[in-house]
Amino acid sequence: MAGGGGFGSGKLYTMEIKFTASLPPIQSAINLDGNGDGARIKLDIPRSDILEVLKLQALAGESFTVTIGVNSE
């Protein structure tokens, strides 16, 4: 953790979690809340990336930035 802070310390730290994902072919893949001021996204992630996904548990209750890059085939 950079900056010497931990979770909830109010200090900035850097943690990179990287995995491949896709939006599932279901109607509820992206949900907007009833007030229109939030959303929930569901992702399909391959088993080979599950260890990276488990790192997200450490961020429960925290805000974080999500960046999307498209993989070209």
Residue 20 is assigned to a structural domain of this protein: yes
Q: Comparing 73 with 27, which gets the higher pLDDT?
A: 27
Tell me how far apart the alpha carbons of residues 73 and 71 are, in angstroms, rounded to a whole number. Answer: 7
Residue 51 is assigned to a structural domain of this protein: yes
Specify the pairing of strand 30-32 against strand 39-41. antiparallel
Average pLDDT over residues 56-72: 91
Tens digit of pLDDT for each residue in 35-59?
A: 878 999 999 999 999 999 999 999 9
Residue 45 is assigned to a structural domain of this protein: yes
Q: Which two tokens stand for residue 73?
A: 């085939």
pLDDT-based confidence at 15, cuts 50/70/90?
A: confident
The residue segments making up the domain with residue 31 are 2-59
Which amino acid is present at 20? T
- For the chain, the domain total comes to 1
Residue 7 is assigned to a structural domain of this protein: yes
Residue 66 is assigned to a structural domain of this protein: no
What pLDDT was estimated at residue 35? Answer: 87
